[in-house]
Structure 1
Amino acid sequence: MDDIVVENRDSVCWIRLNRPERMNAYDFEMAQALAKAIEDNAQSGVIVITGTGNAFCAGGFLGSLQEADENELRTMFYNSLKLFDAIRRSPRPVIAAVNGPAAGGGNELVVACDLAIAAESATFGQTGVRVGSAPVLGGTNFLAMNIGEKRAKEVAFLCRKYSAAQALDLGWINAVVPDDELELEVGRWADELLEMSPRYLEIAKISSNAWWNLSQESYSSGLGMLVQAIGSEDMQEGARAFFEKRKPRFRQSPQKEE
């Protein structure tokens, strides 16, 4: 099975995450392939990212966290940043067509895209601190540009799940449509973009990256901390709990003596 499927429809490039058996969660090779597909299709007028099956993307593959292979995880973490930067560097508008749950790094993938249109059944949220990680590539920093700092901290700290309607109200995404109308609505947005000057769309897009670019130091320092925490007790317990479908039992801070 190909990790991603690329389909060119006239001037619109549809890139479909294609690992439905794991809710399209990506490992380092899949992140690398997605970044390359975005770069290779810069000649398209618009790029759309969506998922196969009932999920958009569940983020980084948690099996890697459970095994805690330092080199593999480091590569996945840094390839995630390369993927998100590829979206931001692309001269073309990139639309997230969110067909189902966008969780963890999958939500950060939505945040990195220029525009986001969601099916009514889609959900959004971060999972990091619940599974022994942290959303340092958008969830703890750039998401605040969309929904405000306090709300972004709520998302990152509490790992709650938000409906598409809630995400729209918060300014997280651009539109919500019935599930069976998602691709049609994305096509309408793409057609409207294709009427614009590609040269000046590129200028507008690159100029709009000002706040994304200012967050680069935060991304780099956050990745550095994640790498240092590879193999930690909390990382392993979080991944085990996820696969065993139970609440994690993280070690608590020592209680103060009375």
Structure 2
Amino acid sequence: MEFENILAQTKGRIHYITINRESKLNALNQATLAELHTALTQAFSNNNVGGIIITGAGTKAFVAGADISEFAGKDVDSGRRIAYDGQSRVFDVIAGGNKPVIAAVNGFALGGGLELAMACHIRIASDNAKMGLPEVTLGLIPGYGGTQRLTQLVGRGKALEMIMTADMVTAAEALQLGLVNHVVFQDDLLPKAEEIMNKILTRAPLALAAAIRAVNDAHADGVNGFDTEIEEFARCFGTKDFKEGVSAFLEKRKAEFKGE
């Protein structure tokens, strides 16, 4: 399928999604979010895809935020719909996906851009990256899960400081805070994301999906994550991949997982 605002291609078992609005610093308008929903759901349902890497076109920005021009003139009900649709159709789809998603953060990741990166399971940043949630400068708060995911990643106090001051943090600061997993030179950004993804793709696919569900339930309202872990652990025993993994371990050979 051809997209206007993103680039989507699969190489090997990795599906690459690039926000392709470089002249707009890859800002997320509604059309881009709709295309992201389509690209993500297709990738998650494609048995040939093992994982997804999301990045932005160019070197200046991953995603510099939402397209604020689309917010002008909107009322309370419209604002609620914008946040709900964005969260349910894109950001929660990523976070709850059955395959690993890595954000390769090149340059600015602000507002909806940082929220997009935080929805991913792993974040790699280039050394020129700057991240923040500046919504209060517009009389808003983050609406795509930012208040929740930033708190989970960096803690309540730092999350409130970043949100209320609207200050950006550097890549080095983000690494120290636990907001990103790794910081590398710009030219090494995609290779580092691919290195991590390729290592992940040697592991059992069904176990990866189970791990994502269990970790997500650590923060799910009204859910006991320990119970989820027990159930997901038990289900793994019914997979062919489990049998293959144990056999390979006992036979001192490399496991060949098939996601079954």
Fold-level similarity (TM above 0.5): yes
Tell me how far apart the structure 1 counterparts of residues 207 and 190 of structure 2 sit (CA, whole Å): 26
Tell me which of the two structures has the higher relative contact order, counting C-alpha pairs closer than 8 angstroms and 6 or more residues apart.
Answer: 1
Taking structure 1 as the reference length, what is the TM-score of the superposition?
0.78
Where does residue 199 of structure 2 map in the other structure? 192
Deviations, residues 221-251 of structure 1 (Å, cap 9, x unaligned) = xxxxxxxxxxxxxxxxxxxxxxxxxxxxxxx
Do 1:18 and 1:24's aligned partners in 2 also have CA atoms closer than 8 Å?
yes
Deviations, residues 13-45 of structure 1 (Å, cap 9, x unaligned) = 000001112111112221121022111012411
| Pairing partner for 2:7 from 5, 8, 13 | 5
Tell me how far apart the structure 2 counterparts of residues 109 and 205 of structure 1 sit (CA, whole Å): 17
Tell me how far apart the structure 1 counterparts of residues 30 and 152 of structure 2 sit (CA, whole Å): 27
After TM superposition, list the pairs within 5 Å mapping 1:20-59 onto structure 2: 20-42=22-44, 43-53=48-58, 54-59=60-65
Do 1:55 and 1:100's aligned partners in 2 also have CA atoms closer than 8 Å?
yes
Where structure 2 has 5 or more consecutive residues not aligned to the other structure, the ranges are: 223-260
Secondary structure of the equivalent of 1:130? helix
Secondary structure of the equivalent of 2:72? helix
Do 1:64 and 1:73's aligned partners in 2 also have CA atoms closer than 8 Å?
no
Q: Aligned partner of 2:21: which letter?
A: R
Secondary structure of the equivalent of 1:141? helix
- The alpha-carbon distance between structure 1 residues 33 and 101, as it changes in their structure 2 partners (threshold 3 A), is same
Tell me how far apart the structure 2 counterparts of residues 79 and 20 of structure 1 sit (CA, whole Å): 24
Tell me how far apart the structure 2 counterparts of residues 160 and 168 of structure 1 sit (CA, whole Å): 16
- The alpha-carbon distance between structure 1 residues 22 and 72, as it changes in their structure 2 partners (threshold 3 A), is farther
Secondary structure of the equivalent of 1:156? helix
Q: Does 1:140 align with 2:134?
A: no
Where does residue 178 of structure 1 map in the other structure? 185
Tell me how far apart the structure 1 counterparts of residues 188 and 91 of structure 2 sit (CA, whole Å): 27
User: % of aligned pairs identical?
Assistant: 33
After TM superposition, list the pairs within 5 Å mapping 1:68-217 onto structure 2: 68=74, 73-82=79-88, 83-214=90-221
Do 1:35 and 1:87's aligned partners in 2 also have CA atoms closer than 8 Å?
no
- The alpha-carbon distance between structure 1 residues 103 and 75, as it changes in their structure 2 partners (threshold 3 A), is same
Tell me how far apart the structure 2 counterparts of residues 30 and 40 of structure 1 sit (CA, whole Å): 15
Query: What RMSD over aligned residues (CA atoms) do the two structures have, in Å?
Result: 2.0
Secondary structure of the equivalent of 1:214? coil
